[in-house]
Amino acid sequence: MWSKLIVDMNTLSVSREPLDEDFRELGGKGLIAQYMIKNVPPQCDPLGEQNQLIFCLGIFAGTSFTTAHRLSVGGKSPLTGGIKESNVGGYAGTLLAEQGIKMIILRGLPEKEGPSLLHIDSSGKAELLDAAEYKGMGNYDLREKLAGRFGEKVATITIGSAGEMGYRSASIHVSEFGAGHPSRAAARGGLGAVMGSKGLKAIVVEKPTVRFKVEYADEGKFRETCTLVNKVIAQGAQNDPFHNIGTISTIEVTGANGILPVDNFSGKLFPAYQEVGANKFLTNLATRGGKNKLACQPGCVVQCSNCYNDANGEYLTSGFEYETIALFGPNCHISDLDSIARMDRFCDDIGVDTIEAANAIAVAMEAGKLPWGDVDATLALLSEMKEATEFGRILGDGCEAVGKHLGCKRIPVVKHQAMAGYEPRNTKGTGITYATSPMGADHTAGLTMGRAFDDAGRAAQAYASNKLQVAMCIADSMMCIFAFAHVVPVMPKLGEMMDAMYGGNYGFPRLAAMGVKTLLTERGYNKMAGMTDADDRLPEFFYKERSVATGSVFDINDYELEVLFDF
């Protein structure tokens, strides 16, 4: 039977208990929504005693289903003030599944000074250890120290100094499968600050001596169906740019279609977008000993990850993704891929969300704090977060904090969270998702990029956003969304897998119902936290300023946004 670890930071104690029967069939995003609504007061202080931080596995954890071991992290967000689920690849999910631990729940606040470390050893014993020696350390040094102490094969979940200092853009970092770099981030919503507030610097998971075995209602049926679905995903991945190139390939589409944000979402085109595009990336990988087609977790068939080296062939960063490149690149008028990689590495090391940091820099550029496209000034400003200067602390609190501090009128946030790398005037369905997602402006909540949607009119855009937001709630409860995209031809098979694992004969409607319930629960939580319809809007400038690239404004009206979830 699956277990949960309850980590009480008041008493510095850890207990291992059977997973609640209510949560047996849930995983990932769906599990976090149901746990939060029952256990975490919506009006609590995100960095206070009553908030909890939850790590949990997906519905098919412990099986051979591809990408089943993505790790979801949840809690009340110090950035949005609402519910937050942020999920991440890496190796920790796999080892937690092998340990038979489906959830880790952090409660309370510590009385003692200095951080702790949660260690789960190969026998399954979990205990809190003093981690004072790691205080203030960046994720890269910390990973190296932990690997030196507990072994190279451990999985680590860590925060950098940003999480310890309570920055509202602080991320949580998971080590990659293989090389172990701490470059996979549960980045959005400031959950790293929640971990910091609990006084937990790291979780170290060892490979267990005895591997946990999952229970199935019908193991033979599950294995047969899972093998087929894995095969379909693997076939689909062969023609997926994310597998063949990496997520940077998205630049080639967004840059050509006015969807790539440029100069703080000005709506302009960026003619030099290919300087930060796929061919430059592939050339740099080939000439410097970098790699793509890497799996961040065992068993992934999409393999979209990468290792990016500098001009001397030395490791610079990994998990170098589209969002970081788009937002530190064209959106800050920067067109040098190596410089963006250095920004990515810096943010990963101190542990902040690159989307939030890059948008904050773009807003600061617009306000005249630093010149457009100035790489050195950008790196200097980012380093202020590490030095904890007055402005560095504001920067660490994200895009909106910087915009308000500098008096900037154009701040691209929804629910206080900065936008991802898609211009909402030119992919309006995505704009609807930005506006209405309980997560805030989020690129993984239901991206509707593609002219087919926009040409089909407003109703089609709203329809696409609605359906995709439900679909992403399903995906984030069980797998990586990049693999989910290839399941479409055999979608009902996921319902058959669910039945074979948990019993019953419900088929796909069971999953669809879970997706709707998750979304409505998240919206309900936010409402109880104090959010209203007014929080489901884009910033005013998207409605008033025309995109120079296409002439479009975001013209989805309030009524269309308010009825989106009238199921």
- Residue 482 engages another protein in binding (rule: CB under 8 A): yes
Amino acid at 85: E
What token pair was written down for 560? 């269309």
Stretch that binds another protein, among 10-18, 84-92, 419-427, 539-547 (CB under 8 A): 419-427
Which range touches another protein (CB under 8 A), out of 54-62, 308-316, 483-491, 509-517? 483-491
Site membership for another protein, residue 6 (CB under 8 A): no
The residue type found at 108 is G
- Distance from C-alpha of 380 to C-alpha of 372, rounded to nearest angstrom: 14
Among 282, 375, 388, 512, binds another protein (CB under 8 A): 282
- Smallest gap from Cβ 324 to another protein, in A, equals 9
Select from 233, 245, 295, 296 the one that contacts another protein (CB under 8 A): 245
Does residue 485 touch another protein according to CB under 8 A?
yes
Check binding of 524 to another protein (CB under 8 A): no
452 contacts 296 by C-beta, under 8 angstroms: no
In the complex with another protein, which residue's Cβ is closer, 140 or 422?
A: 422
Q: Is residue 242 close enough to count as binding another protein by CB under 8 A?
A: yes
Say if residue 214 is exposed, middle or buried (CB neighbours under 10 Å; 0-12, 13-18, 19+): middle
Kindly write out the interface string for residues 199-238 of this chain, putting x where it contacts another protein by CB under 8 A and - elsewhere: -------------------------------------x--
And the tokens for 522? 């998240």
Q: Output the six-digit token pair for 408.
A: 């900037």
User: Which burial class, exposed, middle or buried, applies to 170 when counting CB atoms under 10 A from its CB (0-12, 13-18, 19+)?
Assistant: buried
Q: Which two tokens stand for residue 345?
A: 């590495």
Q: Would strands 116-120 and 291-294 be described as parallel, antiparallel, or unpaired?
A: unpaired
Options 200-208, 328-336, 398-406, 450-458: segment touching another protein (CB under 8 A): 450-458
Nearer to another protein, 163 or 446 (CB): 446
Nearer to another protein, 191 or 245 (CB): 245
End-to-end Cα distance, the chain: 35
Pull the structure tokens for residue 201.
């610097």
The contacts found for 130-135 with CB under 8 angstroms, 24 or more apart, are: 131/201, 131/202, 134/201, 134/202, 135/164, 135/201
Q: Phi first, then psi: what are they for 446, rounded to 5°?
A: 150, 75
Q: How far is the CB of 252 from another protein (least distance, A)?
A: 5
| Site membership for another protein, residue 115 (CB under 8 A) | no
Rule CB under 8 A: choose which of 94, 444, 465, 466 binds another protein. Answer: 444
Enumerate residues 318-337 that contact another protein by CB under 8 A: 321-323
Q: How far is CA 286 from the centre of its chain?
A: 28
Burial class (CB in 10 A: 0-12, 13-18, 19+), 279: exposed
Please report, to the nearest 10 degrees, the dihedral formed by the alpha carbons of residues 373, 375, 376, 378 taken in order: 80
Nearer residue to another protein within complex by CB, 482 or 541:
482
* Helix runs in 184-248, H state only: 191-197, 219-238, 241-244
Told to check if 453 binds another protein by CB under 8 A, we report no
* 249 is a contact residue toward another protein (CB under 8 A): yes
**How far apart are the C-alpha atoms of 465 and 308, rounded to whole Å?**
34
Q: Give 108 or 258: the residue with its C-beta nearer to another protein.
A: 258
**Binder to another protein among 32, 355, 395, 481 (CB under 8 A)?**
481
Q: Is residue 277 at the binding interface for another protein, with CB under 8 A as the rule? A: yes
- Decide if residue 421 touches another protein (CB under 8 A): yes
Among positions 156, 250, 266, 359, the unique one binding another protein when judged by CB under 8 A: 250
Q: Which residues bind another protein (CB under 8 A)?
A: 236, 239-242, 244-245, 247-250, 252-253, 256-257, 277-279, 282, 321-323, 420-422, 443-444, 447, 449-452, 481-482, 484-486
